[in-house]
Structure 1
Amino acid sequence: MNRKTLVLPAVVGLLATLLAACGGSDEAGDGGEPIVVGTTDAFVTTADYPAPFDPALAYEAGAWNILRNTFQTLMALPRSGGDPTPEAAEKCSFSDQKNESYRCTLHSGMQFANGHALTAEDVKFSIERTLAIKNPNGPVGLLSNIDAVETPSDSEIVFHLKSPDATFPHKLATPAAAIVDSEAYDGTKLRDGFQTDGSGPYTLQTEEKNGQVVSAVFSRNPNYEGSLKLKNDEVEMRFFKDSDAMEEALQKGEIDLMTRTMAPDQVARLERGDSKSIELVEMPGQEIRYLGFDTDDSTAGKTAVRQAVAQVIDRQALVRDVYERTAEPLYSIVPSSVGSHVNSFFNKYGEPDVTEARKTLRAAGVETPVRFTLHYTTDHYGPATAKEFKALQAQLNRSGLFNVSIEGVPWKDFRPAQSNRDYAVYGMGWFPDFPDPDNFIDPFFAKDNFLNSPYRNDTIRTQLIPQTRQQAQRTAAAKDFERAQDIVANDVPVLPLWQGKQYVAARDDVTGVEWALNSSSVLQLWELGRGISG
């Protein structure tokens, strides 16, 4: 068997049977040679990112994958997604009916990997540290609803929220709430470099050159106390300049697994099963890609311009010609695999229509061709990004309504410039912090949104977001989420393009590949083990 196409979590029972048949088990792979994982992620220290693995700063998928394997959080997502369950905590629950007070109790006798005791005070310190540092590129927005943190005892933590929030357990399961050692971190500033001091399943040893990580080794943490079951003692992460070099290493057996970031043509090639020793696993994902607009810009700030772009862009052609159907067209900021999704953009604009776009611009008195630059990052979202933006440029310019240029920028420069509003129109991706529609609305449109967007809609901010968070039964919030998506489609502060699928390619003696990524794109290194090559 050299390829599996699986849908999680519907096939949990089937997977258990498959793994057992292949020699896999909860203890598979203990000891033995390290599992070697390839990635094209790059971790570089800069003035804006002095500590890429500091939980008060890290807020992108690659860095969070490091943090999720080295730090603990009070709660964690189950291996196949769903509602979070206790991790560093023994138990957690709301202690009131309004979802405004949340209480957790730690496991007893907990320690960090360095041997220091882990107590409720460390949890309090970690949360308050991120709130105090309040880095604009960091995840502080996920914690901004916390009003106060109390520690009645060494093992008890109580969070008092400013307003009801049924999604708060999900937020405590993200690296934004990672527990750091209060003896090793400064409470008022970021750490320098790549060192981590956590209590997660692994310790991390990095080798760096010129401020960039060139190797990373994850070793089993003997002090780990939590719910995760490790299938290996050590994982090595190797970094590649591009996906072709990464695939070559996989084919030669120099690495055991690769995922971030694979090119569409690689997926298509591996899907054909040309190599009998490589297994490709496909699973549903919630990654989205979109265009962002500076709504204060003299050009992109015009609603008619943004609406006309939405009327011209052909998503079907984009996923067919650029992504070889490894992605799906997306017509809402909330992906179709998440509850309360509605095709708001398609409902408003329908199929691409240059005539309607021309009418929109003419009615608003906008002269054509409209000129602006599309900015994208050259080294963060995969090798197809440049081709994608050339396709977008061609679509817009072919209409005769736009004169668009494109410019690629390395991520280390792109993200600070985007956050500083240096770009009128730019391409971004989003890997959800947790699988709830709130995580596709609040981070983009709340006051302290992670894009630092000037867009403001009071209906979304002051009515719909608070109302949805009062609903413990998330289906009860569906109408409010649908209304928010319709507002976004009308105002177009962001323009959703496509929703990705997840792929992992691995040597056939690696077990647990089906669980290497969960539905929120979390890299679960602890699931990987050694089996028997078939």
Structure 2
Amino acid sequence: MNRKTLVLPAVIGLLAPVLAACGGSDSGSGSGGAIVVGTTDQFKVSSDDPAPLDPAATYDVGTWNILRQTVQTLMIQPRGEGDPVPEAAEKCGFTDTGNERYVCTLREGLKFADGDTITAADVKYSIDRALKINDPGGVVALLSTVDTVETKGDREIIFHLKTADATFPYKLTTPVAGIVNPDDYAADKLRGGFQVSGSGPYTLQAEEKDGKLVKAVFTKNPSYKGSLQVNNNKVELRPFDDAETMGDALDKGDIDLMTRAMSPDQIQALSTADGDVDLVEMSGLEIRYLAFNTDAPSVESKAVRQAMAQVINRSELVSKVYGTQAEPLYSLVPASLTGHSNAFFNTYGEPSVAKARALLTRANITTPVKLTLYYTTDHYGSATKKEFELLRRQLNDSGLFDVGIKGVPWSTFRPAEQEGEYEVYGMGWFPDFPDADNFLAPFLDKDNFLGSPYANSEIRNSLIPQSRREADRQSAVTSLTDIQDIVAEDVPVIPLWQGRQYLAVRDNVTGTAYALNSSSTLQLWELGRGVSG
């Protein structure tokens, strides 16, 4: 069979029905043994991160992809995208016209995997716990609009919000809002190690060595009751140190499927080679950007950041490093989302050294400006180094900058970035949910994900709250566009590119069309054994 690329446009899911079924059924195929999935995501227990799988703390696409299989949420993103639908809940909705009171009713008969009954009190406990722990990693910001949580009987949960928040149903799909068992999770401290207990479609058995997860075994949860149809009995997730080793394992038949992060060279090779492996391509919402510590002396002047935005050539960056696997991005908000605007292109146009020099001259900045760009060596894929080498060349060739680059492992990079140790650093973002708010508030609001000192009162006090009042997201476009224009002017970040998503899968595995959603969520329950197209 020819090795082929299956291109799945975003609309594929909109044409398919949302599956609704009680979990725990015997549908699907598990007769072929565990489906083995490879990833380059790394999971480690360390002094800086002693609880990598606690929903109250973890805020990373890799760890969330473990939690989404095991910890159930009230709402979930539907198969094929669209507005959130009930999962652990039977129904949810705003009960006022101001989007400040949100009520959910639990499904009857919900149980944790160990057999304990789930009640509204457990949901309240889980939300209150995350708010109380207030982990510095920033995930609790997703619950920032929650004022109080009230229960009524065993099945009704009432969320009283501080301000209007039309995006709140999306936030209830994220692991920080996951339902945990009070018997296993203390109210005021994190649960260390790789143990997870919940009521999701799978239970987890973690195999570790020297504080590192070497295999995550997901076994179908017989107590699961929700909206998902589980099409297999067991899936194994195996982390690999790099994309090349993961690719070798796929070629040998040691794994059935590989996901993030494949290298650009691998993707190119897979798209043309013959064999029994298919390359599945789909649209995605992953973005990459440069972030600034706006208090750092080298970049505290807005003119320096503006000059960098004026010099960087996104088209060259994408074509020479990522090819057709990415496209230039001129805002934090991806091009496919309601509210996107090309704010940086509108402000700076094509790259221009002359315009950059004029910006620095007007601000009396002495050139060349000396600074270091930091990037992580083991979190966003092997092409990151090449990307930063090209950024360095672009900036230095202008004669306006004297730039060095430094690669740092993620386990060191992330805490250092949050502590403000880096003046300029490269980051990626995989959205918590597919709404423009989730590409703006996490970077610009109080207690933001980056720990950035940048604060704009109009954005925080007016524009973000205004946008959240609009249940019809088209009505929020004016506020969202104003935010993006301010970001382009102040440049606390520089958006670089928006990527596509890929899976490489052996022909006897089915369900890959829905194995990833636009937020890069692994939906392992979709996979089965059989003969693919």
Residue number in structure 2 paired with 1:3: 4
Alignment of 1:97 with 2:81, yes or no, is no
The residue type paired with residue 228 of structure 1 is: L
Is contact 2:294–2:300 with CA below 8 Å preserved after alignment?
yes
| Aligned CA distance change for structure 1 residues 398 and 73 (closer, same or farther; 3 Å) | same
State the Cα distance separating 1:99 from its structure 2 match: 0.4
The aligned amino acid for 1:75 is M
- In structure 1, what residue type is equivalent to 2:421? D
- Give distance in 2, aligned partners of 1:471 and 1:371: 44
Report the Cα distance in structure 1 between the residues aligned to 2:468 and 2:15, rounded to whole angstroms. 35
Contact 1:285 1:501 in 2 (8 A): yes
CA distance in 2, matches of 1:364, 1:13: 50
Partner-residue secondary structure (3-state), 1:227: coil
Looking at structure 2, the residues matched to 450 and 35 of structure 1 have their Cα atoms a distance apart, in angstroms, of 34
* Equivalent runs, 1:289-308 vs 2, <5 Å: 289-308=288-307
Deviations 1:127-171 (A, max 9, x none): 111111111114100001100000111111000000000000000
CA distance in 1, matches of 2:40, 2:446: 33
2: CA distance, partners of 1:289 / 1:13: 27
CA-based RMSD: 1.4
| Partner amino acid, structure 1, of 2:361 | R
In structure 2, give the amino acid aligned to 1:58.
Answer: T
Task: Give the corresponding residue for 1:21.
Answer: none
Specify the alignment match of 1:85 in structure 2: 85
Distance between the aligned counterparts of 2:433 and 2:121, measured in 1?
Answer: 26
Q: Which residue of 1 aligns with 2:510?
A: 511
Q: 1:9 to 1:319 in 2, by over 3 A?
A: closer
In the TM superposition, residue 121 of structure 1 has moved relative to its aligned partner by 0.9
Q: Please name the residue that 1:137 is paired with.
A: 137
Q: Does residue 202 in structure 1 map to residue 198 in structure 2?
A: no
1:371–1:13 Cα change, 3 Å: closer
CA distance in 2, matches of 1:237, 1:258: 10
Q: What corresponds to 2:184 in structure 1?
A: 184
Q: Which amino acid aligns with 1:223?
A: S
Q: How has the CA–CA distance of structure 1 residues 533 and 310 changed in structure 2, closer, same or farther, with 3 Å as cutoff?
A: closer
| Corresponding residue for residue 22 of structure 1 | none
1:361 aligned counterpart, secondary structure: helix
Quote the offset at 1:337 in angstroms. 1.2
Equivalent residues of 1:28, 1:531 under 8 A apart: no
1:425 matched residue in structure 2: 424
State the partner residue of 2:64: 64
- Structure 1 CA distance for aligned equivalents of residues 13 and 474 of structure 2: 24
* Whole-angstrom distance in 2 between the partners of 1:230 and 1:463: 43
For the structure 1 residues 14 and 146, does the alpha-carbon distance in structure 2 shift closer, same or farther, using more than 3 Å as the test?
Answer: closer
CA contact (8 A) 2:3 2:270 kept: no
**Alignment-derived partner of residue 220 in structure 2:** 220
Amino acid at match of 1:213: L
The letter of the residue matching 2:344 is F
Residues of 2 paired with 1:143 and 1:457: CA distance?
21
SS of match in other structure, 2:327: strand
1:164-204 Cα deviation digits (max 9, x unpaired): 00000000011110111011101101111010011000000
Report the residue type matching 1:298 in the other structure. P
Q: 2:22 — aligned with what?
A: none
Partner-residue secondary structure (3-state), 2:459: helix
Is structure 2 residue 117 aligned with structure 1 residue 117? yes
1:151 paired with 2:156, answer no
Q: 1-side partners of 2:100 and 2:35: how far apart?
A: 43
Q: Which amino acid aligns with 1:320?
A: S
Whole-Å separation in 1 of the counterparts to 2:87 and 2:30: 22
Taking structure 2 as the reference length, what is the TM-score of the superposition? 0.96
Map 1:8-87; keep pairs closer than 5 Å: 8-12=9-13, 27-87=27-87
Cα separation, partners in 2 of 1:343 and 1:37, compared to 1, 3 Å = same
SS in 2 for 1:6: strand
Q: CA deviation at 1:408?
A: 0.7
Equivalent-residue separation in structure 2 for 1:248 and 1:89 (angstroms): 42
TM-score, normalised by the number of residues in structure 1: 0.96
> What is the aligned residue count?
524
Q: CA deviation at 1:119?
A: 0.9
1:465 & 1:50 partners in 2: Cα distance? Answer: 33
| Equivalent in the alignment of 1:386 | 385
- Unpaired runs of 5+ in structure 1? 17-25
Q: Residues 470-503 of structure 1, C-alpha deviation per residue, up to 9 Å, x if partnerless?
A: 1111100111111110110010000000000001
Deviations 1:244-296 (A, max 9, x none): 11111111111000111100111111111x13201111111000000000111
1:290 alignment partner, SS class: strand
Aligned equivalent of 1:439: 438
Distance 1:151 1:178 in 2: 16
Per-residue CA deviation, residues 407-433 of structure 1 (Å, 9 max, x unaligned), is 111111110110111111000000000
Percent same amino acid at aligned positions?
A: 58
Amino acid at match of 1:7: L
Q: Would the aligned equivalents of 1:265 and 1:324 in 2 still touch at CA under 8 Å?
A: no
- Tell me if structure 1 keeps the 8 A contact 2:309–2:494: yes
Q: Which amino acid aligns with 1:170?
A: Y
Q: Following the alignment from structure 2 to structure 1, what is the Cα–Cα distance between the partners of residues 60 and 42? A: 12
**Counterpart contact for 1:56–1:138, Cα < 8 Å:** no
Secondary structure of 1:477 counterpart: helix
Q: CA offset at residue 6 of structure 1? A: 3.0
Q: How far did residue 15 of structure 1 move?
A: 7.6
> Within the alignment, does 1:364 sit opposite 2:363 as a pair?
yes
The unaligned stretches of length 5 or more in structure 2 are: 18-25
Deviation track 1:501-533 (CA, whole Å, cap 9, x = no partner) reads: 001110011100111100111000000000137
Q: Distance in 2 between matches of 1:532 and 1:486?
A: 49
Question: What are the residue-to-residue correspondences of 1:368-517 with 2, within 5 Å?
Answer: 368-517=367-516
Rounded Cα–Cα distance in structure 1 between residues aligned with 2:39 and 2:405: 27
Equivalent in the alignment of 2:23: none
SS at match of 2:322: coil
State whether residues 75 and 87 of structure 1, in contact with CA within 8 Å, keep that contact through their aligned partners in structure 2.
yes
Residue equivalent to 1:19 = none
1:318-329 equivalences in 2 (<5 Å):
318-329=317-328
Cα 1:398/1:13, change in 2 over 3 Å = closer
Return the alpha-carbon distance in structure 2 between the equivalents of residues 430 and 13 of structure 1: 24
